Amino acid sequence: MRVLFVSALNPYPPVSGGQRFAYDQLRAYASFAEVDLIAYYDETEPEVPRLLREGLGDVCRSIISVPMRLKFGKHRKSQMLTMLRSQLSAKPFLYHKFRQPTMVERLRSLEPYDLAHFDHLSTMGLFDCVKAKVKIGSDFDVEWEIFEKYAENATNPLAKLLFKREAAKVKRYEIERLNLMNGAIAISPRDASILASNGVRPPMMVFKKPTPVPEQPLVSFGTAEPRVVTLGMLTWMPNLSATLWFAENVWPLLKSTHPEVRWHIAGADPPEEVQRLHDGERCFVEGFVDDLDSFLAKCRVCAVPLTIGGGIRIKLLDMMSIGLPCVSTTLGATGLENDAIAIVDDPKAFAEEIVLLMTDERHWREKSEAGREFVRANFSPESAQAEFRSFIQERMA
């Protein structure tokens, strides 16, 4: 079987949650099919095509990289112009952003495939450009919920109005695009239920990220330092919003009562408002971390303070698998609720949970092992890949 995988963002290096989602699906396809990848990358990062070939050469038969002005933080002026133009259209901003003439031309020039996979709603606007017997769409979030949350949180009346309008456009578009597919893939049971209840009709599966659990935990209480870490690509608005919420509501409580605690912010492309948090003594803005394992081995707690977003937090799975206890908001832990994660929404309680894990070794060990057991039981690579293969083969039948 020959598969074309269309990605909105280069899936390697798999830095963000969306990239990890795409990377894991690519590897799942490669276990039973020949895969060609075509993916956007940001035009300011000319090394990406080489990295893709090096990182996915064993997975993909061919790789086509298409440059564009992709990242909002690097192309604010052009992105804002596209956003303004999209206000005159019934289609949402992401349709106009990702339907680039260069990509349209490349896709239309390709030979027919047995299956085409559109990764994320951003690529589903290219549906008509690909020739394939079967088409699958995967949704990393219920996208319209993100804009609804932006509208809810906006204090400027005009911004609130624009976000509400965009949420309505995205919702119509998301349902319409998924209904063009022969099958749909969600990232959590909650997302699948919301999509189905809003009229998404194709057969749907929940993709479980294949997550190996190392024989020994990467992190130990005794060798870790009193560090709390937040992780995530900071050009993605939900991650940025989470970081600023933590800085405003939780960090002052930790900083004033526990002088030994350090906050490390790890994530590519930190914008100015995050960079300003760095003081070199208590708070450290790390940017992209090359050797993440060594970095995490020194951390005692991972915080996931999300207030906007959906899906599941892939970083939570990764942290649990290596034995790093997590404190999360309810939204951040959606789809992964279990005894290993301390789930709190009140800032004071959030800070208290972090302190408890920082200081109580027995409690820390219980959470650490509970997380590893949860991942072993629910996200083993063998069962996750078998479920995925079965779903795809049923769509091809």
- How much is the pTM? 0.87
The verdict on 25 and 148 lying in the same domain is yes
Handedness of CA 230, 233, 235, 237 (dihedral sign): negative
- The residue to which tokens 């906007």 are assigned: 308
The verdict on 176 and 68 lying in the same domain is yes
| Pairing label, strands 113-119, 62-68 | unpaired
Does residue 217 belong to any structural domain of this protein? no
Q: Are 306 and 331 within 8 A, CB to CB?
A: yes
The verdict on 58 and 146 lying in the same domain is yes
The verdict on 85 and 25 lying in the same domain is yes
Domain that holds residue 34: 2-210+381-396
CATH number of residue 233's parent domain: 3.40.50.2000
The verdict on 257 and 316 lying in the same domain is yes
The 10s digit of each residue's pLDDT in 11-56 is 998 888 889 899 999 999 999 999 999 999 999 999 999 999 999 9
Burial code of 344-363, b = ≥16 C-beta within 10 A, e = fewer? beebeebbbbbbbbbeeeeb
Strands (E), the chain: 2-7, 34-42, 62-68, 113-119, 132-138, 183-186, 204-206, 227-231, 262-266, 283-287, 301-304, 326-328, 341-343
Provide block-wise average pLDDT over 10 residues at a time, the chain (397 residues): 96 87 94 97 95 95 96 86 92 96 98 97 97 96 90 91 96 98 93 96 94 93 96 86 96 95 93 95 94 95 87 82 96 89 97 97 97 94 94 97
The verdict on 144 and 242 lying in the same domain is no
Rg (CA), the chain: 21
The verdict on 346 and 392 lying in the same domain is no
Alpha helices in 154-289 (DSSP H): 157-178, 189-197, 237-249, 251-257, 272-275
The chain-wide mean pLDDT, for the chain, equals 94
Please tell me the total count of domains within the chain. Answer: 2
The verdict on 163 and 236 lying in the same domain is no
Which class for 197: exposed (0-12), middle (13-18), buried (19 or more C-beta within 10 A)? exposed
